[in-house]
Amino acid sequence: MEQSGRLVNDIIESAITAKATDIHLDPAREGLDIRYRIDGALHAVQHLSSAEQNAVITQLRQMADLPPTEPRSLQDGRLSISADGKEYDLRVSIMPMLFGEKVAMRIFDQAGVLLGLDKSGFTDEQLETVKRLLKTPSGMIISTGPAGSGKTTLLYSMITEIADPEKSLVTIEDPIEMALPGVQQAQVSPWTDFTFGTALRGYMRQDADVILVGEMRDTETAALSAHSAMTGHLILSQMLVEDAISVPQELVDLGVDPWIVGRNLPGVVACRLVKKVCQDCREEYTPSAESLEILGLRDKVGSVPFYHGAGCEQCGGTAHKGRQQLHEILVIDKNLSDMICGGETRSDVLLYTAVQHGFKPMIEDGKRAVLDGLVTAEEVCRVLSWR
**CB atoms inside a 10 Å sphere around CB 63:** 19
Domain span including residue 11: 2-109
The total of structural domains in the chain comes to: 2
Per-residue pLDDT tens for 1-35? Answer: 567 788 999 999 999 999 899 999 999 999 999 99
Same domain, 92 and 128: no
| pTM given for the model | 0.85
| DSSP-based helix, strand, coil % in the chain, nearest 5 | 35, 30, 35
- Residue 111 in this model has a pLDDT that exceeds 60: no
How distant, in Å, are the alpha carbons of 52, 261, 306, 318, 378 from that of 309? 38, 44, 11, 8, 12
What's the mean pLDDT in 305-328?
A: 94
**CB atoms inside a 10 Å sphere around CB 181:** 7
Read off the CATH number of the domain in which 55 is found.
3.30.450.90
The greatest distance separating any two alpha carbons of the chain, rounded to the nearest whole angstrom, comes to: 66
Same domain, 154 and 44: no
What confidence score (pLDDT) does residue 44 get? 94
Same domain, 105 and 121: no
Same domain, 167 and 235: yes
Per-residue pLDDT tens for 195-228? Answer: 888 899 988 888 999 999 999 989 999 999 999 9
For residue 147, what pLDDT band results from cuts at 50, 70 and 90?
confident
Residue 331 phi, psi dihedral angles, 5° rounding:
-95, 125
How distant, in Å, are the alpha carbons of 92, 186, 205, 228, 379 from that of 202? 28, 11, 5, 11, 44
Q: Within a domain: residue 305?
A: yes
What confidence score (pLDDT) does residue 102 get? 94
What's the mean pLDDT in 159-186?
A: 90
Q: Within a domain: residue 350?
A: yes
Q: In terms of DSSP H, where are the helices of 180-309?
A: 196-204, 219-230, 247-253, 258-264, 289-295
Per-residue pLDDT tens for 221-273? Answer: 999 999 999 999 999 999 999 999 999 999 999 999 999 999 999 999 999 99
Same domain, 187 and 248: yes
Mark which of 109, 141, 172 sits at the end of a domain: 109
Same domain, 105 and 123: no
Q: Within a domain: residue 281?
A: no
Same domain, 149 and 90: no
Mark which of 73, 92, 109 sits at the end of a domain: 109
Mark which of 109, 138, 163 sits at the end of a domain: 109
Read off the CATH number of the domain in which 373 is found.
3.40.50.300
Same domain, 379 and 236: yes
What confidence score (pLDDT) does residue 387 get? 38
Q: How far is Cα 236 from Cα 259, in angstroms, rounded to an integer?
A: 19
Strands (E) in the chain, as ranges, are 22-27, 32-38, 41-48, 75-83, 86-97, 100-109, 139-144, 169-173, 184-187, 210-213, 234-239, 267-277, 282-284, 307-309, 320-331
Same domain, 123 and 24: no
Pairing status of strand 210-213 against strand 234-239? parallel
Q: Exposed, middle or buried by CB within 10 Å (0-12, 13-18, 19+), for 190? A: exposed
